[in-house]
Structure 1
Amino acid sequence: MSFYSNLPTSEVSSSLYPTIFEIVSSQEIDALLPASVRYILTNYWIARHPNKITLAINNYFQEWFQVLLKGIVEWHHIKEYNSTFVDRFYGLQRFNCSNEVLVRKQAKNNNTKVWPPGLQFTKGQKRVVFIQKVIVPYLKDRLDELESKWVAQSTFQEQRNDKRNLIRRFVTHVYPVFKKSWYLLDLFTKLLFLAGRIGSVSFLEYLFKIEYTRAVLPLSGGDARPKSVSQANRPQRQNLYALVSRFQRILANVGNTSAYLGSQFFPAFIFMLRVYQWWTTQDLGAKLQRKLNDIDKDIPRTNNKTDGKGKSTGTDCPICHQRIQNACVLETGYAACYPCALDHLTNNEGKCPVTGKKLLGCTYDKELQKWKVVTGVRKLLI
């Protein structure tokens, strides 16, 4: 994915629009966050304390996290910053591109600290972004689950002409076509973005005149809303009103502090998540490597003793009692013919023909109802 950052951009996009690398990175983090939270909850809380409450939290994770919690957070950021939670972390902001004159003016004066009111979202655009980030992913996951379930059932059940069957036909036949068509439209929109023609990366954003920019600017000229003339000339509040005003200022400071701590906690959480993922992968790889290194430890070597006539017994197969052909070695260290070893182990419950010990690399397949050799035999190249 790193090659995205080296793709050429137009003059307008170089000063106003971000690269596709930044947008794709934010989308990947947005998709990684719910899966990571669910993985941590499942492995470190629900699996260790299974009960009705924890199982309900796991079963309805998409409803309470991806719709309710994420919906509240995303709507707050869309309303206050014209940006989603993850996009704001990446320094990305969306804007209303219906006025091309203001767009070109903002591209030339991109160092301004005031967000132009004409480029802010309308109420309809805010709803579109909210639906795109919260509602559409939830509906897509649910429809994908129904599609996979009903496609599997339709292969074993007869079709009936009822209302429920019409819904099934829509999900199993119309929905896949619509999903592929929409994917092609999104892909075409991304190609136009790479060509520098538009600033939208999805077809839905293109329809509703929503584009990306790299800076996150305040929605007004200052941090606070402008005061009217009557408010500016109003005398200073006394007594109870002064306490209420001071309490409001304290709450505003607490909100700003909470927002700052949240902005610092999120990158730290993503970093720790990456470290944890690397640590578990390395630990698993080290364990597998240790098992592979110790698999031949304390295993007796092949018996190469000679009998009284000077004839070598180590070159004879202990199963067919003939000279070994297509040699292999068992877990117990004895050599045998490879076809003889497979036939003997599958017909004798995975037991060594010499020692009679059950080999760890032989397992019983309940579906096939027979013994199967997995890692109990190694072929030798002589």
Structure 2
Amino acid sequence: MEFMSNISGVDESKPSLFELLSETQLRELLEPSLRYLLAVATHRHPRYLIRILNRYDEVYALLMLLVERHYLSRWGGSFTENFYGLKRERVIAAQVPRAQRVVPGLVAESTKLKKADVWKSLFVIVGVPYLKRRLDDAYENFAGGAAANMLGAGYRRDDLPEDATPKQKFIYYLKAFIRTVYPYINAAFYWSNLIFNLAYLFDKSQYHSPLDFLIGVRMRRLTEADHRAFELAAAPKPSSNAPFTMRSLLTPSIISRIIIPKMLDSLKVLLPTSIFFLKFLEWWHASDFARQLSAKTAASIELPPPIPVRPPAPEEELEEEGVMKALVKVVEEDTGLCPVCEREITNPTAVQTGYVFCYPCVFRWVQDGIGRDGDEEGAENRKGRCPVTGVRLLGGAEGLRRLMI
């Protein structure tokens, strides 16, 4: 692999294909990772995040447009490319490797991305992946997915009515185009990527991607001249002697020129930290030490057995050692009804004391302390306790277990 990564042996600034593939893989992992984190957060706070999750593709594209534009303008490469020590540069026909060694600063300045090159790169890095995700989703919906694979080409989910409006005709033919033509376009895109990768690997092309070839931009390693230019650009500039105040720091010019760029640059530290934390979690869950520690922790938790059914009595308060008083429900006999609502149990859910309730009833009781028919009197005393025994439940509502019957 070392031989293949340096097959040309001449241009030291040319990154290997394996570096570029690693960078591409990391970039493709960002979108599903953030989607998963947003989905988990939406599950806990749906009221605030469900709209963002429903428009995730657009929100992610706008977010990456902001991030990638900053990195392309300041560092000469995208977020993940800068993480791998890579940059993008314009291709100059007269450029030779010897000029790079003799006057690297002049060559770096002449090949630096212009404003038009930044926007072209943004289209390749952000726009094309967004369009591809949307087209993939549209093909899955319009082509029928698994149903079309089983039923064959005759499967159709919609037909064009005789009195169709122009809008209906446009949508119908668009669906037909995506069903029939898009698979070939997608295949051509992947085959062209493979051809460019092989040509780049054997030093037959200076572009590893057909999209980079179309916009005239190639990938290079960051050089010492690049790092000196970055340090010079980041050096503090002389300013007026006017004292800084909180009001001056919150002006739009300071926020756009200093605060937002600093926040975006901090992503360079956040990404490797997140990768390290993820790898640590993978090691932790795969190690014997974690399993042994989990087993010892589980063995040290001794749950009390269910308290025997007590004689009939009205609702009363049960006082435990060292805990607050909690209103409990006294079960007269084993009737098979929910002890909270006193109706037939639906969606049965067990608690750690061994009793079974309706899931909505026990969840409201444990989570918010709400009793039968929305009774909120004494809610603070009921919260987090078993409705029958009054025993404090480990984990609160997280400790509820639904039963599959």
TM over 0.5, shorter chain: yes
Match of 2:280 in 1: 275
Instruction: Tell me the SS of whatever aligns to 2:218.
Output: strand
Match of 2:379 in 1: none
- CA distance 1:74–1:197, shift in 2 (3 Å): same
Question: What's the TM-score once normalised by structure 1's chain length?
Answer: 0.60
- CA distance 1:149–1:221, shift in 2 (3 Å): closer
Pick aligned residue for 2:44 from 41, 45, 48: 48
Q: Give the superposition deviation at 1:10.
A: 0.6
Looking at structure 1, the residues matched to 88 and 286 of structure 2 have their Cα atoms a distance apart, in angstroms, of 37
- Structure number with larger C-alpha Rg: 1
- CA distance 1:22–1:109, shift in 2 (3 Å): farther
Q: Give the superposition deviation at 1:203.
A: 0.4
- CA distance 1:221–1:88, shift in 2 (3 Å): closer
Pick aligned residue for 1:130 from 96, 108, 122: 122
Q: Give the superposition deviation at 1:255.
A: 7.1
Looking at structure 2, the residues matched to 126 and 256 of structure 1 have their Cα atoms a distance apart, in angstroms, of 17
Match of 1:313 in 2: none
Looking at structure 1, the residues matched to 62 and 25 of structure 2 have their Cα atoms a distance apart, in angstroms, of 21
- CA distance 1:277–1:129, shift in 2 (3 Å): farther
Q: Is structure 2 residue 3 aligned with structure 1 residue 32?
A: no
Q: Give the superposition deviation at 1:89.
A: 1.0
The code of the aligned residue for 2:242 comes to L
Match of 2:142 in 1: 150
Looking at structure 2, the residues matched to 160 and 19 of structure 1 have their Cα atoms a distance apart, in angstroms, of 51
Looking at structure 1, the residues matched to 67 and 2 of structure 2 have their Cα atoms a distance apart, in angstroms, of 29
Pick aligned residue for 1:16 from 1, 5, 13: 13
> Are 1:82 and 1:93, in contact at CA under 8 Å, matched by a contact in 2?
yes
Unpaired runs of at least 5, structure 2: 149-153, 162-168, 296-405
Looking at structure 2, the residues matched to 222 and 114 of structure 1 have their Cα atoms a distance apart, in angstroms, of 17
Instruction: Tell me the SS of whatever aligns to 2:160.
Output: coil
Match of 2:113 in 1: 121
RMSD: 3.7
Match of 1:101 in 2: 94
Q: Give the superposition deviation at 1:88.
A: 0.5
Per-residue displacement from partner, 1:141-160 (whole Å, max 9, x unpaired)?
A: 11111101111177143542
Match of 2:59 in 1: 64
- CA distance 1:280–1:164, shift in 2 (3 Å): farther
The code of the aligned residue for 1:178 comes to I
> Are 1:9 and 1:195, in contact at CA under 8 Å, matched by a contact in 2?
yes
Per-residue displacement from partner, 1:217-274 (whole Å, max 9, x unpaired)?
A: 1695862499xxxx9xxxx98xxx5317997999877678656643222211122123
Unpaired runs of at least 5, structure 1: 291-382
Q: Is structure 2 residue 210 aligned with structure 1 residue 203?
A: yes
Match of 2:398 in 1: none
Q: Is structure 2 residue 222 aligned with structure 1 residue 223?
A: no
- CA distance 1:36–1:100, shift in 2 (3 Å): same
Using the TM superposition, name which of 23-32 and 243-252 deviates more: 243-252
- CA distance 1:64–1:219, shift in 2 (3 Å): farther
- CA distance 1:272–1:105, shift in 2 (3 Å): same
Pick aligned residue for 2:71 from 65, 70, 77: 77
Instruction: Tell me the SS of whatever aligns to 2:88.
Output: strand
Instruction: Tell me the SS of whatever aligns to 2:10.
Output: helix
> Are 1:114 and 1:218, in contact at CA under 8 Å, matched by a contact in 2?
no
- CA distance 1:263–1:179, shift in 2 (3 Å): same
> Are 1:12 and 1:107, in contact at CA under 8 Å, matched by a contact in 2?
no
Looking at structure 1, the residues matched to 172 and 49 of structure 2 have their Cα atoms a distance apart, in angstroms, of 34
Looking at structure 1, the residues matched to 222 and 274 of structure 2 have their Cα atoms a distance apart, in angstroms, of 23
Instruction: Tell me the SS of whatever aligns to 1:211.
Output: strand
Instruction: Tell me the SS of whatever aligns to 2:142.
Output: helix
Q: Is structure 2 residue 89 aligned with structure 1 residue 92?
A: no
Looking at structure 1, the residues matched to 80 and 196 of structure 2 have their Cα atoms a distance apart, in angstroms, of 21
Match of 1:160 in 2: 160
Q: Give the superposition deviation at 1:21.
A: 1.3
Looking at structure 2, the residues matched to 100 and 213 of structure 1 have their Cα atoms a distance apart, in angstroms, of 16
Instruction: Tell me the SS of whatever aligns to 1:160.
Output: coil
Q: Give the superposition deviation at 1:108.
A: 3.3
- CA distance 1:146–1:250, shift in 2 (3 Å): closer
> Are 2:200 and 2:207, in contact at CA under 8 Å, matched by a contact in 1?
yes
> Are 2:76 and 2:87, in contact at CA under 8 Å, matched by a contact in 1?
yes
> Are 1:4 and 1:20, in contact at CA under 8 Å, matched by a contact in 2?
no
Instruction: Tell me the SS of whatever aligns to 1:212.
Output: strand
- CA distance 1:92–1:41, shift in 2 (3 Å): same
